[in-house]
Amino acid sequence: MFLPKIGWLNYRNSRKIVGEPKNITVSSKGKHWYIAIQTEYEAELLPHKSTTIVGIDMGIKQFATLSNSTVYAPLNSFKAKAEKLA
């Protein structure tokens, strides 16, 4: 690897570089030096295998509302235990 102001360096590649290198960061920790290589490449988006996906909206008035119109009421544990707390 060639670094400006330093020259050519040998390094151990821990994994294959996929894509086009965009940013290289050189850092030291103790007596060891590390190189982080940031790359850019087109990733393949795979469709999700599940057919029953539900979104959840957590709220204040309703505890939860699901995207399939199921509503869960809030659990008001304070009202149930107010006598014991008094």
Mean pLDDT, range 21-32, rounded to an integer: 88
Task: Return the pLDDT at 33.
Answer: 84
* 85 phi-psi bin (left φ>0, alpha ψ -120 to 50, beta other): alpha
Task: Return the pLDDT at 5.
Answer: 83
Task: Return the pLDDT at 40.
Answer: 94
The 3-state DSSP class for residue 23 equals strand
**Is residue 69 a contact partner of residue 63, using CB atoms and an 8 Å limit?**
no
Mean pLDDT, range 7-22, rounded to an integer: 87
Percent of the chain with pLDDT over 70: 99
pLDDT in tens, 44-83: 888 878 777 788 888 878 888 888 888 888 777 677 777 7
